[in-house]
Structure 1
């Protein structure tokens, strides 16, 4: 299709029934794209089984248009955008679950925001004894205790903010404390680590799966810190993959911004599944760029074949479709459909060569009359004005 046609379709693209939007939007600000969003997330959950470690973190989609739940996060590259809370596999970076942050429109049922999103995102892995790694926006000691119970049965490892009341004064920062020192505090199944990497910095890590506090003798870092660093990058790596190869376009409508990210999510998740299936068969894995090109070709092929059967399709459009599909042409009803292989002058019909059009050799060059007829004696191009008709008997006598 042309660029104008493509832009027109995207301007008209909607994902819900506009007549009922205002009525539903009072309860759910995400209504304009909620239905298709839930379809994607359901497919992502059903087609993958998570590993032993998963990660919960945030993704900020760059957007500066009008939106009730647009966020400002100064430490992000985009700073302004739409915030999505994601659950990804720490090993493969597969996006398992995702939920939009709607600001005041988020119905948490009386729970703190961090606790609400952790319980909502991990719904598909409840009761599986998996470990969840998260940052200090989600982590809290009451949450860690609740996740150990039924029906959750999950362990967590996450950083803790220094203003939490549960942190004892004895393990907080002091001038007399040396750099690279670690202190552990235990409360039943919970382990609280206080680590001092710099004179003016303290790191607090809460874990419900590490019973003993051990330190790596070579790096002088606690093993709990190293485990957190090795499993915290699931969402960050997924976000990086989205930014490296993305289909995002500039838009003033936030549903389109979400839709572009949905395409990125679907493509990355499908590539991760493809890599797993191919590696299981001990075959060569194609690069992500080549995989995206092949995926594009396979998705458009059925539609191109359908369009090719339309009798009203223009010849130039049909020729382009045939070039994309890599097929020849058919002669129907005496019409010769040309297939351009390398240039406009090279055309092939089924079993016969099509004669090229030339300028009449008798007419003035200013007229530039194009014709396919040639003289049988001298092979000069002749137009209809200079062509003489006679019967076969007279031709034999001549």
Structure 2
């Protein structure tokens, strides 16, 4: 993965950026086929990859100077028709899936004009491209259904959110391959897996949490998880009794969440003094200056 962080230090725009990125990402590879979209594919990239014993298959933009006009033109062409062009190292194909729609691909792997036997007569180059690039498109589709992404202008967070989404889906695929009978017959297996994954990730943090959240709903959830974990631990200890040891000191029960801060009832609004102290009779917020200390006998 490479993150685009803007123009180089000199301020000049980078030429052949797509080619440079592909060469950086494929450093050290040999005997593989690189599948690119039209931002990266070029004739020069194909030559550079061949020197590394790598092949290239990718879509091409129509404004590339290396494309012959006969392939770019869509006039007087039937639907599902294909045109090919070959050089010593490259193969080009122009395919019309619909009227007035032209799909251009470049390959250094294919050396013939093979097309499929189906009704659409799709070229072999396009079939191989869809076979590889389709996995990327399908991954983007499935991770968009259950995602942790949030709107942000910080590029490290964008990368981090994407890593979490891809890792969660990869773990679901591995889990289902190892346990094919898990929740068999249900159509929402991935949602159930994501719920269980989130629960298993957050429970260790809840167990060692000493201070409860401020909101009552969050505090009750934490206490419920802590009680469930403690009861599970007690049940496990009953089934497998440990050697007798001195009983540990009893811990105090978790305290209630601290009250929110609010403006003192007796201070002028211009001062706007915030305090946590409350009157024990009327539950009004009072600051230190308006608090009266009395003994239990006088009260």
For normalisation by structure 2, the TM-score amounts to 0.63
Aligned partners of 2:79 and 2:96 also within 8 Å: yes
Q: 1:118–1:138: 8 Å Cα contact kept in structure 2?
A: yes
Provide the residue aligned with 2:170 in structure 1.
272
Q: Given that residues 322 and 328 in structure 1 are in contact (C-alpha distance below 8 angstroms), is that contact kept between their aligned partners in structure 2?
A: no
Q: Which residue of the partner structure matches residue 99 of structure 1?
A: 2
Q: Distance in 2 between matches of 1:142 and 1:164?
A: 11
Report the counterpart of residue 115 of structure 1 in structure 2: 19
Q: What's the offset of the Cα at 1:260?
A: 5.3
Q: Would the aligned equivalents of 1:133 and 1:157 in 2 still touch at CA under 8 Å? A: yes
Query: Pick from 193, 211, 224: which aligns with 1:323?
Result: 224
* Displacement of 1:99: 1.9
1:304 aligns to what? Answer: 206
Change (3 A) 1:304 1:112: same
Cα displacement (A) at 1:111: 5.0
Q: 1:247·1:260 contact (CA, 8 Å) conserved in 2?
A: no
Rounded to whole Å, the distance in 2 between the matches of 1:320 and 1:176 is 68
Mark the CA change 1:222 to 1:115 in structure 2 (over 3 Å): closer, same or farther: same
Instruction: Report the Cα offset of residue 224 of structure 1.
Output: 1.7
Alignment of 1:1-398 (within 5 A): 98-105=1-8, 112-123=16-27, 126-150=28-52, 153-173=53-73, 175-218=75-118, 219-251=120-152, 254-255=153-154, 258-259=156-157, 262-276=160-174, 278-280=176-178, 282-284=180-182, 287-307=189-209, 310=210, 320-325=221-226, 326-328=228-230, 333=250
Runs (5+) with no aligned partner, structure 1:
1-97, 339-398
CA 1:274/1:333 → structure 2, altered by over 3 Å: closer, same or farther? closer
Measured after TM superposition, the shift of residue 110 of structure 1 is 5.9
Q: Which has the higher contact order (CA 8 A, sep 6+)?
A: 1
Instruction: Measure the CA separation in 2 of the matches of 1:148 and 1:234.
Output: 24
TM-score normalised per structure 1: 0.49
Match of 1:57 in 2: none
Q: Give deviations 1:12-70, integer Å, cap 9, x for gaps.
A: xxxxxxxxxxxxxxxxxxxxxxxxxxxxxxxxxxxxxxxxxxxxxxxxxxxxxxxxxxx
Alpha carbons 2:49, 2:55 under 8 Å: kept: yes
Give the secondary-structure state (helix, strand or coil) at the position aligned to 1:304.
helix
- Structure 2, gaps ≥5 residues long: 235-247, 256-299
Structure 1 position 328, deviation (Å): 4.7
Q: Size of the alignment, in residue pairs?
A: 232
Q: Distance in 1 between matches of 2:178 and 2:51?
A: 36
CA distance in 1, matches of 2:161, 2:70: 50
Q: Is the 8 A contact 2:172 2:190 kept in 1?
A: no
Q: Distance in 1 between matches of 2:62 and 2:42?
A: 11
Q: CA deviation at 1:264?
A: 4.2
